[in-house]
Structure 1
């Protein structure tokens, strides 16, 4: 202690206080050979040790919530006075309750035995939702279900999604990204599909459950059209820089339509800030004074026709 006091210029009381704080933070630990000797601990390991009890508590609460939700959702058929997954007249059913929608999707996923198709527009994906869906997706893949997923290009930069994609691709799934996608969609065994109920972005969430064969065939054809033009999601690649040309062409095409930055960003599944950074770079390269002029110049240079014909 005296040596440390000489080196640091601190008093013994101050050193003892700092030592106790470091021990409390798990940044110091006794040596295995001599308990009187304290050794430094990697801060990452210390953080993991401190967080472990909290994470265990969070897990237990999450399991309790899931168990409660699962138990109560079993009462939904009785509440609605019908069989939740039974036939529906006309092959189209509108479901407004998000919890019921999720329950129906879960049921369809569990029953699926041949093919699952998923369209996930937008940018950032909720890591908690990804973690919750992973076991179900892996279970379906183990049953031999063919699983194809479409995301938008900006999702390639999200580490938690890259990890999720790596896990399901390793199990046999196919994942691609596109510059633009239609609304969110799930199709199971080409027999039942879920599409958003809303007709505008500010409308309450819900879903339309489709079982009509002609509509299902149309939705599958729409999926295949997006799939053909999409790019494989390479999880060990450099984020979405390798698809930046597609993004830039898509931005130019939308600018030529006179759309606002917010609309362009929403269609491409990226933040407005990121979108404006791309736009500023494109305007500088094209020597354009406005966003619309950038789109016009791109058309004059044949960049937009290149996008259409590739």
Structure 2
């Protein structure tokens, strides 16, 4: 029996299923189709009537009809589902409170040491499989545990809506096949940027846990196994996230052309040159002139100026006008 979650006992579910197949029936008629006696069936039918799953009509003996299942059962199931979701959220909050308090008492809960390339690969897969919102990633040259193109967990996460922001250092693209692998990831939804050099390897999932190699090892380092740290919610994790954001702000966006080539892999300015009009607009913007005054000087509407500024921000991969000014100077647009 499967309707216990809707509040029905085994005998009530059996009688209700029989009643659904009949236009109307007496307790004796239902009893003949079940393993219950007439008296037991009468009691079950009365219980169903009290629960709103059946109704009786006049006459002797009484005849019963089933309440439509979508009317009788679905609202109860929805209420139970809502209650279960609320309970799940409450349990999640309790778990986080427990972990937070445990971390304060036990430093071992904050940082876990991972030794060996295989253990590092497993942890990197796990944090990606458990991610629900965002992955932040520093990709240095010469892999330690996960060669370029082997991170299938990223594509699974992207498919379920997890956002990936990945920073590559310039030397990363010297490895054979790395450009094609990055192009595939960008096409799948990865947001990628490049910088001349990165300070360390890093993966941060949902800003709650990070994997950060501590001792070089593997193909790109010494012959010893790599050692990494699994860092959970703490000031150290906050600092790692801030470090990522700092590098992200100054990085050059990577774009995939129609032919599948990746532009920007040298970590330097390589965007398309701007028109004289856009260069003039940028110079006015950087000078601190208000949009309305820029519009007046260029003979445009204020809305057109704002639209062109937004286009330039998209072209530069900038989230703010300050970032646009920085990127414009870096790219030689002014």
Bin the TM-score by the shorter chain. 0.3 to 0.5
Question: If the length of structure 1 is used for normalisation, what is the TM-score?
Answer: 0.45
Question: If the length of structure 2 is used for normalisation, what is the TM-score?
Answer: 0.42
Higher relative contact order (Cα pairs below 8 Å, separated by 6+ residues): 1
Q: Whose radius of gyration is greater, 1 or 2?
A: 2
Bigger fraction of residues in helix: 1
